[in-house]
């Protein structure tokens, strides 16, 4: 038996944030019926390359364990079909522009079901920000993430994946599961609302709290950390390596391996706070030592001593590492090798029942 077996989700979402959430719930056993525009479907069906055969891998990445139904919400018949679907659903998920579902008479209030869990995801909320387009890149920019990412203040950089969408999808899962637990206890559903902007502000954790608690406005530091050193990328003979030294004990061990034990008692570097204050000098000294050997040598030498480090892998090497650690990073459905769900449950493990649906299904 799966954790969410028997839960039916009417999924009116598309693109990334909400489809990621419904896929995660589908992996946990929920029945997910994805509603798509006739003849066209989810926009990400055309977002390629890359492709798996003739299907965009973007769409395939977030739509397994779902069936698909084509419904034209602009027609009376389509809206009636949608209401029939919702009538047998426990959860509705949608991420249209705020007001769209209300126009169709399919918003939480119009449906009037006291036992329904209804999740709405938007870019900037349903109030004054309702008309703003909720694209991940835009939210990274106006939400402050790009201001702390990149080599310097005039070179803002986005993350290499639509991270705000993914984080919002995960927060949506938490909200939906909490609402289902409340319904189980009381019989009452509720409206679950999320927006990309406040999810990002919450997810910036220490950077956000530095502002709210101390008025500190963080700046980009490249690969460095504002509060820890050494905690950045270093050169080696063959490829970059990361050191993530989180305490003085680890730093002493690093200095011993690099044959510079005197650094551990140097007043500039003796404590973490000292090292943060003198991070440029520290970088130069450590870089000169690390350049003497390949990244793999340092990884194999420092890791057993409890010094966190590792080469900067590409995605292929990252999957190879996970496989070498027996973490099972992939799952196969029919002819597809998809990225595995990372949640491991001892009694109700995730399942991979359905490949991402083709539009004609």
Q: Which residues are catalytic?
A: 165
Rounded to 5 degrees, φ, ψ at 276 are -60, -40
Q: What is the largest CA-CA distance in the chain?
A: 78
Of 90, 91, 84, the C-alpha closest to 13 is: 91
Of 176, 248, 157, 254, the C-alpha closest to 9 is: 176
Question: What region does 332 belong to: left with phi over 0, alpha with psi -120 to 50, or beta?
Answer: beta
Which two tokens mark 323?
A: 């496989």
Distance CA 218, CA 197 (A): 18
Of 105, 100, 144, the C-alpha closest to 122 is: 100
Rounded to 5 degrees, φ, ψ at 86 are -65, -30
Rounded to 5 degrees, φ, ψ at 41 are 75, -170
Rounded to 5 degrees, φ, ψ at 155 are -135, 60
Answer yes or no: are the C-beta atoms of 7 and 90 closer than 8 Å: yes
Q: What is the DSSP string of 317-328?
A: HHHHHHHHTT--
Distance CA 249, CA 231 (A): 14
């Amino acid at each position: 038996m799966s954790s969410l077996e028997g839960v039916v989700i009417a999924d009116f979402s598309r693109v990334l944030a909400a489809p990621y959430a419904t896929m995660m719930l589908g992996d946990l056993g929920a029945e997910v019926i994805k509603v798509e525009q006739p003849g066209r479907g989810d926009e990400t069906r055309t977002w390629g390359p890359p492709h798996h055969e003739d299907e965009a891998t973007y769409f395939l990445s977030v739509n397994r364990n779902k069936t698909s139904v084509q419904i034209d919400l602009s027609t009376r018949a389509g809206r009636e079909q949608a209401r029939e679907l919702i009538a047998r659903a426990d959860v509705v998920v949608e991420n249209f522009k705020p007001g769209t579902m209300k126009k169709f008479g399919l918003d939480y209030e119009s449906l009037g079901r006291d036992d329904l869990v209804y999740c709405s995801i938007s870019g900037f909320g349903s109030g004054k920000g309702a008309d703003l387009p909720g694209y991940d890149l835009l939210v990274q920019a106006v939400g402050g993430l790009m201001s702390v990412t990149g080599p310097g203040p005039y070179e803002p950089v986005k993350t290499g994946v639509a991270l705000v969408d993914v984080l919002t999808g995960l927060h949506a899962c938490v909200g939906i599961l909490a609402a289902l637990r409340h319904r189980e206890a009381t019989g009452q559903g509720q409206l679950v609302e999320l927006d990309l902007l406040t999810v990002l502000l919450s997810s910036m954790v220490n950077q956000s709290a530095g502002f709210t608690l101390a008025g500190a406005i963080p700046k980009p530091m490249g690969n460095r950390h504002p509060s820890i050193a050494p905690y950045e990328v270093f050169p080696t003979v063959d490829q970059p390596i990361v050191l993530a030294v989180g305490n003085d004990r680890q730093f002493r061990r690093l200095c011993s391996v690099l044959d510079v034990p005197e650094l551990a008692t140097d007043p500039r570097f003796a404590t973490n706070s000292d090292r943060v204050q003198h991070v440029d000098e520290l970088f130069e000294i450590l870089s000169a030592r690390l350049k003497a050997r390949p990244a793999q040598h340092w990884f194999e030498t420092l890791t057993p001593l409890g010094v966190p480090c590792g080469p900067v892998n590409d995605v292929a090497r990252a999957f190879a590492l996970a496989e070498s650690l027996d973490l099972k990073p992939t799952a196969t459905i029919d002819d597809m090798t998809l990225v595995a769900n990372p949640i491991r449950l001892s009694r109700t493990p995730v399942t991979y029942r359905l490949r991402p649906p083709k539009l004609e299904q």
